[in-house]
Structures are given as C-alpha cells and as structure tokens.
Amino acid sequence: MDSYDVLVIGGGPAGYVAAIRAAQLGFRVACVDAFERNGKGSLGGTCLNVGCIPSKALLDSSEKYEMITHEAVEHGIVVQGASIDVTRMHARKDSVVDKLTGGVAFLFKKNKVTSIHGLGRLLRPEGEGWVVDAAGTEVLAKHVIVATGSSPRALPGVAWSERIVENTGALTLPEVPARLGVIGAGVIGVELGSVWRRLGAQVTVLEAQPGFLPIADAAVSKLALREFQKQGLDFHFSVRVDSITDTGSSVKVSYTEKEQTMHAEFDRLIVSVGRVPHTAGLGAEAVGLALDERGFVKVDAHFATNLKGVYAIGDVIGGAMLAHKAEDEGVALAEQLAGQSGHVNYETVPWVIYTTPEIAWAGLNEQEAVSRGLSVKTGQFPFTANGRALGHGDTRGFVKVIADAATDRILGVHMVGPNVSELIAEAVVIMEFGGSAEDLARTVHAHPTLSEAVKEAAMAVGKRAIHA
C-alpha cells in the first residue's frame, strides 16, 4: 500500500494548511477530502466553498448595491433605476470560490501534496503508524491528522428544505425573499441576514439569548445592536422556538417571547444556531478515538488524541470555530511533528463580524477582565472624530483599548466601525509582543487613516487623546 509520513483527513483551512506546512518541512504528505461542489471534489472545506469566502463576496455585493441606491447621492452621484440581478451576483460569488479552491489544488501540486478525493476513515494501527481507508484504498501513514471540521447544528425535529436552510442554502437563495426569518443572532445569522436585508428583504431575527452578542464587549454589542436596528433588522431576544412548519409556499414559526405565544410567517428561514463537530464516517468509535460529551475530538496541548500517532485540529476539537484559528493550529502541529516549537496563542485570536459596521476584537473584553479580578483602565475613541471616516461618510462606531491598571499591558482591543476587520491586526501584533497602551499610543500612524482611531484610543487610556 502507499505510505506517507503525514496523512491529513479533511481539506479545509486546518487540513490543507497542515498538509502544505508539513510538505514544506520535508514530509511526504497526502490529504484526503470528501467535500464536493457542483458534483466535483473541491478543496478548502466549508470556509472556501460555503462559508467565509462566498459570504464575504455576497456581503460586498450587497454593500455596493446599498451604496448605489441609498448613499451615493450624498457624494453627488445620482443613479436611477438601479436593480439587483441575483443570478449574476451568485455567478460572481461562485467565480471567487472557484479561484480560491483551485488555488488550494495548485498549492498542493506545487508542494507535492498528494490529493485524494473521498472519505478518510481510521482502520487500525500498524507498526509505527496507522492504516487509513482513503477513498476506498488502504494507505499507511506514520502520523494522521484529523481535520474534518464542523457542520451546521439543526433544530430538533426540523428538516432542511428549500425554504428552511442553513449557511449553504442561505448563500444560494434564488431570489430576494420578501420576508426572511433568521433563528440565531450570532455571527453567521447577522451577516447573512444583513446581506438579504440590504437587497430588500424584511428580516426578523429570533434569538434565545437575553441580549445581543454577549461574547463581545458590552459597549460594542450595545452600539452594534442599535445600528442594526436602525437598518431595519427586527430582533427578538429571550425567544423559545416552539414549532417550525414548512407549508411548501412559506415557513410558519411559533415562538414564545416574554411568556406570550407569537406567530410569524416567512418566505425563507435561515437556521443559524451554532455548529457541531463533523466526525461522521471517521471510524472514531470503531478504533476508540476519544470524543467529549459534545462530540469533539479530545486532544492534549500538542493536539495529540488518545491514539498514538493520531492528532486533531480545527473545528473538530472545539474552541473558537474560526478559519484563522484552524490554520494556525495546522501550522503549529506540522512544526511540532518536525521537532519544532509550533504553538497557538489563543488569548490573541481575533474575532470579526463582517456586517456594516464591522465588529472586531481580540483579547479580554471589559466584563471578562473584571470577572477575573483584574484592575483595568480603558480608553475609547469615536470614528466621528476621525478625518478619514468623515471623508468616507461612515463615522459609526469606536475603538476601545483595555489595559492592566498596574502594568499598562494591553489586555484587549475592541472595535465597531468601518474596516475594523483590517484594523484589528495591529492590536493582535502588539498584544503578541506583550505591548502596553503607551507603546501603541507612541507609535506613529499615518494621517489621515482609520488606524489613527486605534492610536487615539490607546492615548485615551492615559487620558491624553488629542482629537476627542
């Protein structure tokens, strides 16, 4: 049988990055991946095929449409008769996906990674390695990396259909629904709800939590919710969904809110209530691979499972279900297998929500820091006082820096506003180096740029912001 130093099961961000890095380090590597799009194998996993990339393409298209129809006139640009062609919008989105998934296939060839299309299943240990069923053919690998990702969580008793969809279906709606329901006010629900709201849908969001985005800093959540409500997103919190019925022409939802039974009817319903580890077909039970009570693969600090020679990374091990976290785990594990000191600093993994305004943060929020008994000082700077934001015509939001009151070390940076998905990287870098608010405040930033708001927020920690 064919043998490899490293066999990766799963070709998403965790898997394909681990495979490429391992190949760079001199290992003989194969990656077996079962994802299909349009009837053909397609590398990149959920992220590239039906997640991060296509959703951002649609977000950009919908933002441009809203700019043309509602905001361009403020710039002296008058456009009459603008309309949306959903078919062409999807075609553009698909072309972006094709380029990136094809790019992964090219990188595999460039780095001499053997790509195998099909399911990967653990069979048995043999010698110093494992025999794996790779798309129906047995192969031997010294190290096996499980990177099978996650799947959308379904509501009990509710089947996916043409009208009741998860993230994949929400990215391929054939027309703009007049009435769109979204169950779950998390990252995916709010992003996809925003896409279709901009294109003309009336969007209602039903959320079980008592408030919006509790994982973010309270000040960020409060402002973001207010902005989304201004845009027309109709939020309902502390909701218990009682029943969902697909009538064939609409979706009827009964739910309880404030002890009252409510009824709503939608043309389409997006269910976005989290994701679950994808281990179906892996053979975990047959070989004794240990899973936790939620189905995630158990690993130690070095991504090792309870089975010698078998490792796991990415969504399938839990934690932050983010592509960039998965990628860094792939690099770290490959380097560890090569005897190097690969690691991931989970304290500085950035989070981003690609709405308008965008939301981004890294590190502790203020309520977390206080709950840990830390004494903190904070600085905040609004985009209303930033020249570049004024020039763009988007001054919503602010940057907030949280620092240790005794050492001035930055504990967290939180942002809501224009392009903060890009601005957060600066905060991550300085936190990786253990930098202080003073370090950030004394770093020269180009003028006029949005990044000056980050500098001013750091200056505000010492109560010396200049422009606010």
Closest listed residue to residue 418, CA positions, set 67, 104, 146: 67
Cα–Cα–Cα angle for 96, 185, 419, nearest 5°? Answer: 50
Residues 6+ apart with CB under 8 A from 115: 11, 30, 31, 33, 41, 43, 105, 108
Residue 178 has which token pair?
A: 């007049």
Rounded to the nearest 5°, which phi and psi values hold at 117?
A: -90, 125
Residue 244 has which token pair?
A: 């969902």
Check residue 296 and report its DSSP letter. P
Assign 217 to helix, strand or coil: coil
Residue 10 has which token pair?
A: 């799963």
Rounded to an integer, what distance in angstroms lies between the CA atom of residue 434 and that of residue 413?
A: 13
Annotated active-site residue 447? The verdict is yes
Residue 357 has which token pair?
A: 């305004």
Q: What share of the chain is helix, strand, coil (3-state, %, to 5)?
A: 35, 30, 35
**DSSP characters over 61-110:** HHHHHHIIIIIGGGGT----S----HHHHHHHHHHHHHHHHHHHHHHHHH
CA distances 254 to 43, 193, 205, 239, 261, Å, are 39, 20, 13, 10, 7
Where do the DSSP E strands lie in 86-230? Answer: 114-117, 120-126, 129-134, 137-146, 150-152, 164-165, 179-183, 202-206
Length of the chain: 468
Rounded to an integer, what distance in angstroms lies between the CA atom of residue 242 and that of residue 125?
A: 47
Give bridge partners of residue 377 from the DSSP assignment. Answer: 403
Give bridge partners of residue 244 from the DSSP assignment. Answer: 253
- Find the catalytic residue in 70, 263, 447, 467: 447
Residue 84 has which token pair?
A: 């949306």
Residue positions annotated with a catalytic role:
447
